Structure 1
Amino acid sequence: MERDKQSSATPNSAVSPSQRLFTAIALPDEQKQKLHQWVEQNLGDLSFRKWSDLRDYHVTLQFLGDVATADIPKLEQALYQAAAEHAPFTLGIGEAGFFGRELFPRVAWRGVTGQLEPLNQLYQSILRATESLGFKPEERPYRPHITVARSYTGQQPVPPPVWQANDRIAKPWEVGEFVLYATRMGQKPMYQIIQNFPFPFQKP
């Protein structure tokens, strides 16, 4: 995965001095269900240490790390300003892929297709907005994806056909906002949306 933290409006904020936060695009329910069906059909017989809960499927934008609860309102204000620069765009679920070794992958994911330039522009806007608050962008290139499993533990290599499943598994969807997630370790789902940041220039 990627990026995480939380907001002053949440029930836990009064007792949590900091929260692990990240910004992301949440998948709609239909795309979550279709992706989960693909995972069960194509990865269900494989052994991974951790499977993403279908309710947690998302495209990470920026991982923020542990953020002091008192600083979250300022962060949210900066993110509202970043969202104000953008209009809705369309994304789709892309081909299967992995991080690490192909036969014993560290992460299994599906990529992202569609209007990738507006997605990258949104990513850059968020980086600029948060950098003024002291958040540092990652040095590695931005590679949008949807993590479905982590840490392959099988004794036999992952069959190559898994990575060749590049057919479309769900219809594209319109992205009209991004969200701020807080990580809730040990819970399912593990990510809680604490704020939504809609794009102001909505299509009629």
Structure 2
Amino acid sequence: MKNESQRLFTAIALPNEHKKKLHDWVEQDLKDLTFRKWSDFRDYHVTLQFLGDVETSVIPKLEQVLVQAAAEHGPFTLGIGEAGFFGREEFPRVLWRGVTGQRESLDQLYQSILQATEPLGFKPEERPYRPHITLARSYTGEKPIPPSIWQSNDRCSEPWEVGEFVLYATRMGQKPMYQIIQTFPLMR
């Protein structure tokens, strides 16, 4: 019998009204851009730690250490920042919106999660932590992306209070693709 596993990551889910505002911006300002894959707006989130394929038997222990990590932090506020990209500006690999607000609190939460999961064998990524909300992947357009996309727009800028983070499982081929397995309230 093979060990069952699920592809998991920790993240901050966006409130529904922020998902909707971001979706409206995508629909209005980005509708002419061609990307291989657009994120389902119900999946909009800020990744904390990608955990990869996790054996089902490990999940209860993982949840236990994440409860402890959450307990070290109180709520903080975040906002949706400007558009950005990974890859080449004219032909980006990933199009995203950044994160504003109490970034230091976000970084501290990120560090606590890394410290909590490391004894269970989860390794932090090599690259620096760059919190963002992925909107689309693999630009396939013929023409470069117009520079106006990178100019700031404040239709999505209402900050919100982050009172929890979640453990998501990836469900390939489903919409929305991410399912919340567990929620961890920030307690302090």
Q: Which TM-score tier does this pair reach, normalised by the shorter chain?
A: over 0.9
Kindly indicate whether residue 124 of structure 2 is the aligned counterpart of residue 137 of structure 1. Answer: yes
Mapped partners of 1:87, 1:109: distance in 2: 27
Deviation at 1:70, TM superposition (A): 0.7
**Residue from 15, 36, 43 that aligns with 1:28:** 15
Q: Which amino acid is the alignment partner of residue 132 of structure 1?
A: P
The question of whether the paired residues in 2 share the 8 Å contact of 1:84 and 1:200 is answered with yes
Contact map agreement 2:81 2:157 (CA 8 A) in 1: no
Choose the corresponding residue for 1:43, options 18, 30, 47.
Answer: 30
After TM superposition, the score normalised by the length of structure 1 is 0.89
Residue equivalent to 1:154? 141
Give the residue type in structure 2 aligned to 1:38: W
**For 1:168 and 1:121, how far apart are their aligned partners in 2?**
28
Per-residue deviation, residues 74-101 of structure 1 (Å, max 9, x unmatched): 0000100100100000000000100000
Are 1:181 and 2:168 an aligned pair?
Answer: yes
Residue 65 in 1 paired to residue 52 in 2? yes
How much is the aligned-residue C-alpha RMSD, in angstroms?
A: 1.2
Answer whether contact 1:17 1:69 (CA < 8 A) is retained: yes
Partner of 1:125: 112
Q: Distance in 1 between matches of 2:140 and 2:3?
A: 34
Q: Does 1:192 align with 2:179?
A: yes
| 2:99 aligned with 1:112 | yes
- Residue in 2 that maps onto 1:97: 84
| AA partner of residue 192 (structure 1) | Q
CA contact (8 A) 1:91 1:116 kept: yes
Give deviations 1:49-93, integer Å, cap 9, x for gaps. Answer: 000001000000000000000110000001001001000000000
Equivalent of 1:80, from 45, 67, 72? 67
Displacement over 2 Å in runs of 4+: 165-168
Alpha-carbon distance, 1:16 to partner = 7.3
- 5 Å-filtered alignment, 1:166-177, equals 166-177=153-164
Q: Distance in 1 between matches of 2:90 and 2:150?
A: 10
Q: Tell me by how many angstroms 1:171 deviates.
A: 1.0
Contact between 1:20 and 1:183, CA under 8 Å: does it hold in 2? yes
Cα distance in 2 between the residues matched to 1:119 and 1:59:
10
* 1-structure distance, mates of 2:75, 2:158: 16
Deviation (angstroms), 1:164? 1.1
Secondary structure at 1:157 match in 2: coil
Please state how far the C-alpha of 1:166 moved relative to its aligned partner: 3.8
Give the secondary-structure state (helix, strand or coil) at the position aligned to 2:120.
Answer: coil
Contact 1:35 1:170 in 2 (8 A): no
Matched residue SS, 2:73:
coil
Offset from partner CA, 1:177-199 (integer Å, 9 cap, x none): 00000000000000000000001
Unaligned ranges ≥5, structure 2: none
Stretches of structure 1 lacking an aligned partner (at least 5 in a row): 1-14
Does the 8 Å contact 2:25/2:155 carry over to 1? Answer: no
Structure 1 position 21, deviation (Å): 0.1
Aligned positions, number: 187
Whole-Å separation in 1 of the counterparts to 2:152 and 2:31: 14
1:47 CA displacement: 0.3
